[in-house]
Structure 1
Amino acid sequence: MFTTERKLPEELLYYRALNYRASLDKDSYDRKNRLERGFTGEQKYDEILDQTGHQNMYIFRDIYLNIGGSITQYDALLITESGIAVNEIKNFTGEYRVEGSSWYTGNYILPDDAPSQLRRAAGKLMRLRQKLGYDFAVTGKLIFPDENFHLYSREENLWNQVVLRSEMGDYFRSFENEYSGEFASKLADLVEQHIVANPYFKLGVEFGSIRNGLYCGGCGSFYLKKQYFHFACQSCGSRESTETHLVRAMSDFKYLFGSARMTTKRIMEFIGEMVDYRTVFRALNKYCYAEGRRKSTHYKFKYYDFDEAMRKEIPGRKYKDYLK
């Protein structure tokens, strides 16, 4: 069973919001594309695992664990009575070859090879096992979910670690005889106790350095026309409620400006004053936690991101969205 939700990485949410409101330089553009590709691979992994079945194990996805003062990110942990299986998901595409400990794509050498990352991740769990005196197995696999990934290597030990797209179903079915009893539950509790927030997300831009206003959720255009309770996109014809636009602005604000305080005045500036003050005030009090009093009041977005807010709030919303 899935015990944690797979969410868009914070860094990707930052770059997505920035991409709408500014021109990304080459490094930022490339970084955004790598993050997009990585997340797509994780979604493929989840889909295949879901199809195969996973009710007999605990599954943690996209978590950070603090073990011995060192923080490590895990794409997926599969926990059964036998122990913990680390799955490192690599959504590579194209042809790769391995010579010794070096990984190549064309003539380019990857700066950090996948097996080393897997060993480090598994090693941290082994240290935790040793520290607590638990007796459980720690295994690991490199998962490559892209159908167009091709790997060439004469390293026999490497193939014992690799699971290609065509092999993923068989790999997941290898857990069919496992089960999640009392010991697996203790291991899941142990993992949960060591989960921490992502400590590495430090990105942010200066307020006022990017484009203000509202943009279409369908095509990204800022060319919108105000209607009674909606904005109509003049580029693609989509219509989204004013509330939807404000929620998107709150989520963008959260990821673009780091620790900057979200106030009514700041949000008004951020959206280019395209919505009246009272509507913005109501939306902030609905979708955010208010902190401070009177002139010092500022807001903290209740949700992880725009998508989570929409999933949880749309059923009770009066005005619908019409995306083309």
Structure 2
Amino acid sequence: MKERVESDELRLLRLLNARTTLSEKDRKNLISSEKGYLGELKFDEWAIPLVNEMVFLNDLLLEHQGSIFQIDSCAIASKTIFHFEVKNFEGDYQIKNGNWISPSGEEKKDPLIQLKRTESLIRQYTQQLGFHCNVESYLIFINPEFYLYNPSDNPYIIYHPQLNRFMKKFQSRSLKLNKFDLKLAEKLCSHHIEESPYLRLPDYSFENLRKGILCPGCGGIYESSLGRSLVCKSCGGSELKSPAILRTVEEFKLLFPDEKVTTQRIQIMCGGIYSEKIIRNSLSYHFNMKGYGKHSYYI
């Protein structure tokens, strides 16, 4: 019912990585976000056999009594919410004195604590909405290259080698979708918070960003146009003029949601590779113009 999409934070970090130099902290955040998203996509592939038996909701952001919580994935069937926390950890991890230690020696938050917190909030939240149902939570380690030393004996932790057996266990439960499940799923979707208040982004400004049209293949900047097309010297990819301009407009809107889309601003954003006339024609064709002359902008 709610498909998975890349988060605004991930999309913004990608754009900033292409148009500025990220600090080491922000670069690590980008790598972590990319890896987490890839892990969630792998989970979605694993869950395909269940989509006809359960209704899936991905990347839900909800608020309960001032506490905002995110659900990576959940599925609803037979008046039960199955909550999945997906981790794409890689390498050998250890638990020392209750702390999770990564292969690099970095201390990580205990994902079991996060799992239980979210489970409790899901239960409280659904009861507040008038839905009384069971909640089952599972911590899924999706990466086959992950290993945990000194693990706790917890049946709700699922490692990659256990995924096939875990699937068979689900399929043997004869789960059924009913009106209660669909109504609950629709209610949760309607309460999803679109914009996260916790974006982890560096400070940036229009003036400090590298200008130009980004190649969707490699993330490099097109250096010149060839007729109606743009050709990337780095990867050899090509793209027609119109979709390249439109994609750059969408990037501008994501980076600067409070700024107006104007011909001049978009021409600068495109690195001056096209004239104002070409930019204006493209904007006029795909957007609605407001105002007149120098004060005109597009929505």
Scaled by the length of structure 2, what TM-score is found? Answer: 0.89
Residues 107, 26 of structure 1: alpha-carbon distance in 2 compared, 3 angstrom cutoff: closer
**1:91 to partner: Cα distance:** 0.5
Residues 19, 282 of structure 1: alpha-carbon distance in 2 compared, 3 angstrom cutoff: same
Rounded to whole Å, the distance in 1 between the matches of 2:216 and 2:25 is 25
Secondary structure of the equivalent of 1:195? coil
Secondary structure of the equivalent of 1:108? coil
1:249-280 C-alpha deviation (Å, 9 max, x unpaired): 12321232342222221111111221132332
Secondary structure of the equivalent of 2:187? helix
- Name the residue aligned to 2:245: 246
Aligned residues: 294
Matched, 1:64 2:61: yes
| Contact 2:224–2:273 (CA under 8 A) maintained in structure 1 | no
- Name the residue aligned to 2:119: 122
Residues 235, 54 of structure 1: alpha-carbon distance in 2 compared, 3 angstrom cutoff: closer
Farther-moved stretch of structure 1 (4-13 vs 185-194): 185-194
Q: What letter corresponds to residue 22 of structure 2 in structure 1?
A: L
- Name the residue aligned to 1:280: 279
Q: Pairwise mapping of residues 16-55 of structure 1 onto structure 2 (< 5 A)?
A: 16-50=14-48, 52-55=49-52
- Name the residue aligned to 1:104: 101
| Contact 1:205–1:257 (CA under 8 A) maintained in structure 2 | no
Residues 296, 84 of structure 1: alpha-carbon distance in 2 compared, 3 angstrom cutoff: farther
**1:142 to partner: Cα distance:** 0.6
Scaled by the length of structure 1, what TM-score is found? Answer: 0.83
- Name the residue aligned to 2:85: 88
Farther-moved stretch of structure 1 (267-276 vs 255-264): 255-264
Rounded to whole Å, the distance in 2 between the matches of 1:113 and 1:296 is 53
Unaligned segments of structure 1, at least 5 residues: 301-324
Matched, 1:185 2:182: yes
Secondary structure of the equivalent of 2:45? helix
1:125-174 C-alpha deviation (Å, 9 max, x unpaired): 11123324432101101111111001123522xx3121112222332343
**1:122 to partner: Cα distance:** 0.9
Q: Pairwise mapping of residues 1-324 of structure 1 onto structure 2 (< 5 A)?
A: 3-50=1-48, 52-99=49-96, 101-106=98-103, 108=105, 110-156=107-153, 159-176=154-171, 177-200=174-197, 201=199, 203=201, 205-288=204-287, 290=288, 292-294=290-292, 295-300=294-299
Residues 264, 152 of structure 1: alpha-carbon distance in 2 compared, 3 angstrom cutoff: same
Measured on the aligned residues, the alpha-carbon RMSD in Å equals 2.2
Residues 171, 284 of structure 1: alpha-carbon distance in 2 compared, 3 angstrom cutoff: farther
Secondary structure of the equivalent of 1:150? strand
Unaligned segments of structure 2, at least 5 residues: none
1:76-99 C-alpha deviation (Å, 9 max, x unpaired): 011112311111111000011224
| Contact 1:202–1:258 (CA under 8 A) maintained in structure 2 | no
Secondary structure of the equivalent of 2:265? helix
Secondary structure of the equivalent of 1:76? strand
Rounded to whole Å, the distance in 1 between the matches of 2:264 and 2:104 is 53
Secondary structure of the equivalent of 2:42? helix
| Contact 1:102–1:113 (CA under 8 A) maintained in structure 2 | yes
Q: Percent identity?
A: 27
Rounded to whole Å, the distance in 2 between the matches of 1:292 and 1:71 is 37
Rounded to whole Å, the distance in 2 between the matches of 1:219 and 1:134 is 47
